[in-house]
Amino acid sequence: MQETPRIRMLLGLADDALIHGHRLSEWTGHAPTLEEELALANIALDLIGQARALYQATGLPEDDLAYLRDPHQFRNVLIAELPNGDFAFTIARLLLVATAADLAWRDAATSDDSDLPAIAAMARNEIAYHIRHAADWLIRLGDGTEESHRRSQNALDALWPYTGELTVGIDRSAWLGAIEAVLERATLTHPADGWMQGGGRDGRHTEHLGHLLAEMQILPRSHPGATW
């Protein structure tokens, strides 16, 4: 695969959406309420749909990209591949990632790429709801009980070092402003920006991605050339 700068850019966006969508789909059957089962599945379906549109925009077969690349060829940010943790972790990550994605899609909407503006038009509506849903939940978890507050704060503390690469290429202060507005209502705080994890865009991932892909890719990998 010849990874032109355009393909590399598209893969970054697509892999973020696919891997995060995959993680959210793992909640199916295990969410804290029945209503939230449907909400998380909706968000996962949005993200998988965005990933497909972006893979298709590369002109390469979408399933080859999703199922036949090795971990080091994936371009997603590390935060997307971290295991789900508890519901607070999942919701906090969704807010951090979706808020960044919103800013990235804003730029994509006005790019002169042949496909991106149309995909952005669809994705931006979806992401706006993801932000709304995640923010409203985080406000409730942060402000709810002692336990939910503690879990939410722990989640933010654990996630923060992964937010560095999330804002590469977008305005971090705009991102931070949007996050802080939610955290204030949630009575939560974020750690100061310090050392940040990185490497996802260059294919250097956490240990988790290999396991995720081993599971996701097992059928196409063990039946080469088969149609599904």
Interface residues toward another protein, by CB under 8 A: 18, 22, 25-26, 28-39, 41-42, 44-45, 48-49, 51-52, 55, 62-63, 66-67, 86-87, 132-133, 136-137, 139-141, 143-145, 147-148, 151, 215-216, 218-220, 223, 225-228
- Which of 2/227 has CB closer to another protein? 227
DSSP 73: G
The distance of closest approach from Cβ of residue 208 to another protein in the complex, given in angstroms and rounded to an integer, is 13
- Pick 41 or 176: Cβ nearer another protein: 41
Q: Which amino acid is at 162?
A: Y
Task: Using alpha carbons, select from 141, 215, 225 the residue that is nearest to residue 182.
Answer: 141
Q: How far is the CB of 97 from another protein (least distance, A)?
A: 19
DSSP labels, 76-92: --HHHHS---SHHHHHH
Q: Which is closer to another protein, CB of 46 or CB of 165?
A: 46
Burial of 119 (C-beta count, 10 Å sphere; 0-12/13-18/19+): buried
- CB closer to another protein out of 130 and 165: 130
CB of 123 to another protein, least distance (A): 15
> Closest distance between another protein and the C-beta of residue 172, in Å?
28
Q: Which is nearer to another protein, 72 or 221 (CB)?
A: 221
Contact, 199 vs 193, CB < 8 A? Answer: no
CB 177 within 8 A of CB 111: no
* Residue 214 CB partners (closer than 8 Å, separation 6+): none
